[in-house]
Amino acid sequence: MIARFIAAVALSMTTLTGCSPTPDTGSTEGSDVSRQSATATSPADAAPAGFPDLSAYTESGEQFAQQMVPRVQGFAFSTPTGLICASNAYPEPKFEHVGCRGPIPSQGPGDWSVGAGYAEPGTIESLAGDPDFAADKKRPPPPLAPMHKVTSLDGVAVCGVDDAGTVACRIDDHGFVITPAETTIF
């Protein structure tokens, strides 16, 4: 199921924005990105204020890599707060996406999906009734320890978890920060 989630990260990001990248350019021209009760910053900003300095986090290495799964070139991990996160850079890095699914207190009750793409700003949506996520919760990927990060082997995505319940992921100029108090997408 995790492999299906990782492969679906790229598909769901194009579904969420209402378009798909063209193979030649990766363009998402005409997309309508929804930002339900989340804070957004301009994609022109390198990263929003408050994005953690992930260079200070310990690299977790290849234990989170999902390289042997067909159509997947990325990583997957779970967090101490119950999120399941994954990236996928298939078929090449310009199509890379990263996302986390699970409880996000700042968004309200239930499970949520937060994601961003190399060429797409962050999005957030409710996961009410998602059967794939229900199955993934029964067999989550390995946990990423606090103050650790994981970096894509075939793309540019990086995610880190701190010791206060924050999860931060970034792909180039896009990404998100999930804290117990707020969710920021950019």
Give the pLDDT confidence of 23-55 residue by residue, as tens digits: 333 333 333 333 334 444 433 345 677 799 999
Q: Is the pLDDT of residue 86 over 50?
A: yes
User: pTM of the predicted model, to two decimals?
Assistant: 0.74
pLDDT digits (tens, 9 = 90+) for 175-186: 999 999 999 999
pLDDT at res. 16: 34
Mapped onto helix, strand or coil, the DSSP state of residue 86 is strand
29: phi then psi, degrees, rounded to nearest 5: -55, 135
Q: What would the two tokens of residue 105 be?
A: 């207190």
Mean pLDDT rounded to a whole number for the chain: 78
Angstrom distance (rounded) from CA 60 to CA 98: 17
Neighbours of 55 (CB within 10 A): 9
CB 88 within 8 A of CB 99: no
Between CA 10 and CA 93, with CA 47 as vertex, the angle to 5 degrees is 30
Q: What would the two tokens of residue 7 be?
A: 């492969």
